[in-house]
Structure 1
Amino acid sequence: MTILAMDTSNNPLGVALINDNQVIGEYITNLKKNHSVRIMPAIQTLMDDCEKSPADLTKIVVAKGPGSYTGVRIGVTIAKTLAWSLKIPLVGISSLEVLAAGAARYFEGYVSPIVDARRGQVYTGLYRFENGRLTAVEPDQLVMAADWAPKLANMDQPVLFVGNDVILHRSTFEERMGAKGVFANATEQNPRPSELAWLGKDMPGDDLHAFVPNYIRLAEAEANWLEKQGKI
């Protein structure tokens, strides 16, 4: 079983290949560059380096959001196209869950992945690793960082914040949580595409035609248009 995972949902771009229970290749960058131009060459390079062909793939796993509207759409579109053309299953995984997975396994407490949503808002959720698996304690959501922090301050264990955007809201969490807020190191901030592959490894495929990104909120342009039409 050879699984290709891809994540273009935020600034980090990642692709990975796992074969049964082994990570055989992984590629990550954290650059503000056009994912639509870079994702296919990244996949091709990884496949070539790992001496794999499209015919070897048995499943595609993609980070389905939330995150950058354009980034999420790029990843989901390419993943659906590959899965459809190769006639293999497609599994979508929360981009926040992927971010949490890299740290939760080694942290005694909760993990809150953070993706900036501007105007003081964050995409986040609450996860913990228990009984050998990552579980969601609070669902993925869009919330004001200033409202999220006091809620976490009441949890029974420390909360680890992870993600490249944590720095934008760190002072808010520090002021409202004190020592209960813990912050991941720089090496833990990027979502790992191998973790993405692992999360989707044993999951059944989604309905390919019904599969859509999880933006959590409308794109800003769409929201502005609806507001002008008096529909929201």
Structure 2
Amino acid sequence: MLILALESSAVAASAAVMEDGRLLGESYVNTRLTHSRTLMPMVKNLLLSLEKTVEDFGLMAISAGPGSFTGVRIGVSCVKGLAFPNNTPCCGVSTLEAIAWGAAALEGAKVCAVMDARCGQVYQAMFSIEDGRPRRLYEDRALSIEELATECEPIGPSLVLMGDGAQLCQETFRRFGARLAPEALRFQRASSVALAAFELEKQGKTCTPDALLPSYLRLPQAERELKKKEERKREP
């Protein structure tokens, strides 16, 4: 089965094509250009180079969050637009799980997948690498770096930090020997989204294009500010 996967949850954007677990091609751009300008041209050029069309794919996947609210919305919208004409099955992959798939070769490691959530928090999930794949230890969540460090300290040197929030955590986590993954492995990529989607498809965890939705974990900042204003108005 051919999978088209996109990743746009942070600064970098990427697109990948995978067939039965084998990567056929991937395009990766790490610039300050908006994903609305880079993502679809990458998809177009990748399909041209592989001589594939949208109709060839049995599954389309996207990192559905957490991450940048704008980036996640753009990625989900792109996949929905590509999938709607043929009602191609879709798969929304946790961005944190996609990050953990980048560490699949680190057998026995505990992977702390972490993204900068701003406002003094990070998005985080923990995985154990077993038999060449990440096994989720708990669900995605948002919390402070200090709270996370307190939880992770007992793991010690077997802990590997991954994601765009790894560098933020490194200074605090260094005290108990946590390791920073090499930059080439540290960040989420569309190929990792495709690997995660390949496993989820085997479990029947796909959806129709209209049912594909972002997963933010937190309200966007504008909505949080509006909520605060409304709460202040209700105060006596």
Instruction: After TM superposition, list the pairs within 5 Å mapping 1:148-227 onto structure 2.
Output: 148-155=148-155, 158-175=158-175, 178-179=176-177, 181-202=178-199, 203=201, 204=204, 205-227=206-228
Contact 1:65 1:72 in 2 (8 A): yes
1:229 alignment partner in structure 2: 230
TM-score, structure 2 as length reference:
0.90
Q: What's the CA shift string for 1:141-165, capped at 9, x where partnerless?
A: 1010111011111237721001233
SS at match of 2:148: helix
* Distance (whole Å) between structure 1 residues aligned to residue 210 and residue 53 of structure 2: 25
Name whichever of 125-134 and 33-42 sits farther off: 125-134
Cα deviation, residue 125, structure 1: 0.5
Cα deviation, residue 104, structure 1: 3.8
Cα deviation, residue 131, structure 1: 4.2
Cα deviation, residue 36, structure 1: 0.8
Instruction: After TM superposition, list the pairs within 5 Å mapping 1:10-25 onto structure 2.
Output: 10-25=10-25
Instruction: After TM superposition, list the pairs within 5 Å mapping 1:3-82 onto structure 2.
Output: 3-82=3-82
Cα deviation, residue 56, structure 1: 1.1
Cα deviation, residue 52, structure 1: 0.6
Matched, 1:142 2:142: yes
Cα deviation, residue 196, structure 1: 1.1
Contact 2:87 2:209 in 1 (8 A): no
Cα deviation, residue 72, structure 1: 0.4
CA change 1:146–1:183 in 2 (3 A) is same
* Distance (whole Å) between structure 1 residues aligned to residue 168 and residue 30 of structure 2: 16
1:113 alignment partner in structure 2: 113
Cα deviation, residue 135, structure 1: 1.4
* Distance (whole Å) between structure 2 residues aligned to residue 206 and residue 32 of structure 1: 32
Cα deviation, residue 209, structure 1: 2.7
* Distance (whole Å) between structure 1 residues aligned to residue 99 and residue 129 of structure 2: 13
Contact 2:107 2:130 in 1 (8 A): no
Amino acid at match of 1:230: E
* Distance (whole Å) between structure 2 residues aligned to residue 15 and residue 87 of structure 1: 20
* Distance (whole Å) between structure 1 residues aligned to residue 146 and residue 85 of structure 2: 45
Cα deviation, residue 129, structure 1: 1.9
2:100 alignment partner in structure 1: 100
Contact 2:159 2:179 in 1 (8 A): yes
Q: Number of matched residues?
A: 229
Cα deviation, residue 34, structure 1: 0.3
Cα deviation, residue 207, structure 1: 4.3
TM-score, structure 1 as length reference:
0.92
What are the ranges of 5 or more consecutive residues in structure 1 without an aligned counterpart? none
Amino acid at match of 1:189: R
* Distance (whole Å) between structure 2 residues aligned to residue 70 and residue 102 of structure 1: 23
Contact 1:109 1:157 in 2 (8 A): no
* Distance (whole Å) between structure 2 residues aligned to residue 53 and residue 206 of structure 1: 21
Identity percentage of aligned residues: 31
What are the ranges of 5 or more consecutive residues in structure 2 without an aligned counterpart? none
